[in-house]
Structure 1
Amino acid sequence: MSSRPRIALFDLDNTLLPIDSDYSWGEFTQTIGWTDPVVFKQRNDAFYEHYKAGTLDVHDYVRFATEAIRLRGRGEALQARERFMREVIAPAILEPAKALLDAHRQAGDRLVIVTATNEFVTRPIAQAFGVQELVAVQLATDADGWITGEIDGVPSMREGKVVRVADWLRSQGLDWGDVDTTFYSDSTNDLPLLQLVDHPVATNPDARLRVIAQQHGWRILDLFPSHP
């Protein structure tokens, strides 16, 4: 067994959660009447298809996804997020994911959630999982400290996940060679990081990632086999 410190990295959407929190937040804004149920849904669905295909323009998407938050303001947005956590996220935090995280905790590993979803949506989700370290899309803010719709720095998506995890490691006084890394992900969008870590785990993998994992002999973990 490696004597290096062990870091367990986890994608969030469709990996630790059986849903996509970003897409679900968009649906939730329709439910509470913040967005047009027809036009918003069409655009949200189109962006999601681009994400799955690996062709998403993340800057365009973040402007779209955060527009309602920005326009409603801090107070309403935070209240809506609390309701979203209760009604949508809490029922999606399932025992297999909690058990996986607990196994790594008990092994003494450091846990980090690494997600392409923005920090406004994902910070309370990471906290609900008991994970303090979150690498998410950072949102730029105005002089009042509120969201502008733009991304601050490198978005944690595709190759950007490698950049952002490297930044996080440096903030801990570490480099890739200093640590033993495991990464759990469902998506081919995460191939750059999966190919870099010591122990890639294709978790609830999409069809393309499942084939790639089989070709490379990567571990495949179906965390929610009975979940629709």
Structure 2
Amino acid sequence: MNLTLFDLDGTLLPGDSDHAFGGFMVDIGWADGAAWAARNDQFYADYQAGRLDLDEYIEFATSAWRQRPAAEALAVRERFMAEVMAPQLRAEARALVRRHQEAGDLIAVVTATNEFVTAPIAAAFGIEHLIAVRLQRDTDGAYTGHVEGVPSFQAGKIARVHDWLAGLGRQWQDFERISFYSDSVNDLPLLELVSHPVATNPTPALADIASARGWPILELFK
């Protein structure tokens, strides 16, 4: 059996679900207009530049919804999926996932976006296993605005994949081929570890690295 790992934002999606969810918070009036949107944009720029303070970002990004009643937050997430994300579930990405599914690969989405935003997106792709940033909850089950455990961000993706495999009774060495599709230099640690890295819709920085190292480059949406 082969193992196939997919980054989500910019890889299987042409956009960024985390940044888009923040924009949606502004659109529906849950976040404070232009100032909040500008800060959301700055965090996204920091991520693209590889300098994101994830803890600070999670506190900010969840502040718009985490104190809302759970049913209300889930209903808004459903709206976000229908109105914003559904158009981004492109046929090219679905076909790529399906090829690996039909080959019998063990598949997971491994993303630095939090689990609240990404769980329905992974499900829409028909991917059972999601490794995302876990959000801490208090004893009453309310979100605190903090990250729980190791975040699936940069080198943390390696630790989280390792733990996930261990939970399945597996380890890296069990697989003949391990592929990882990603668009971002933030994922360089995991790209360097797998046997078959694929720079997918890569940023210019990752495209340069992939070209220098002879990694395949996949422009999924062109």
Q: TM range, normalised to the smaller chain?
A: over 0.9
Corresponding residue number in structure 2 for 1:211: 208
Unaligned segments of structure 1, at least 5 residues: none
Unaligned segments of structure 2, at least 5 residues: none
Secondary structure of residue in 1 paired with 2:66: helix
Matches within 5 A, 1:1-228: 5-179=1-175, 180-225=177-222
Provide, for residues 33-68 of structure 1, a one-character-per-residue CA deviation record: whole Å limited to 9, x for no partner: 001111111110110111001010101000100111
Letter in 2 for 1:123: A
Q: CA deviation at 1:73?
A: 2.5
Provide, for residues 71-107 of structure 1, a one-character-per-residue CA deviation record: whole Å limited to 9, x for no partner: 2221211010000000001111000000000100111
- TM-score, normalised on structure 1? 0.95
Provide, for residues 167-197 of structure 1, a one-character-per-residue CA deviation record: whole Å limited to 9, x for no partner: 1111111221122210000000000000000
Q: How many residues align?
A: 221
Rounded to whole Å, the distance in 2 between the matches of 1:176 and 1:100 is 22
Rounded to whole Å, the distance in 1 between the matches of 2:67 and 2:194 is 40
Cα RMSD (Å) of the superposition? 0.7
Rounded to whole Å, the distance in 2 between the matches of 1:176 and 1:130 is 23
Letter in 2 for 1:94: R
Displaced runs of 4 or more, over 6 A: none
8 Å Cα contact 2:67/2:143 also seen in 1: no
Rounded to whole Å, the distance in 1 between the matches of 2:71 and 2:140 is 13
Letter in 2 for 1:11: D
Provide, for residues 180-215 of structure 1, a one-character-per-residue CA deviation record: whole Å limited to 9, x for no partner: 210000000000000000100000000010010011
Letter in 2 for 1:218: W
Secondary structure of residue in 2 paired with 1:38: helix
- The sequence identity of aligned pairs, in percent, is 55
Rounded to whole Å, the distance in 1 between the matches of 2:63 and 2:41 is 16
- TM-score, normalised on structure 2? 0.98
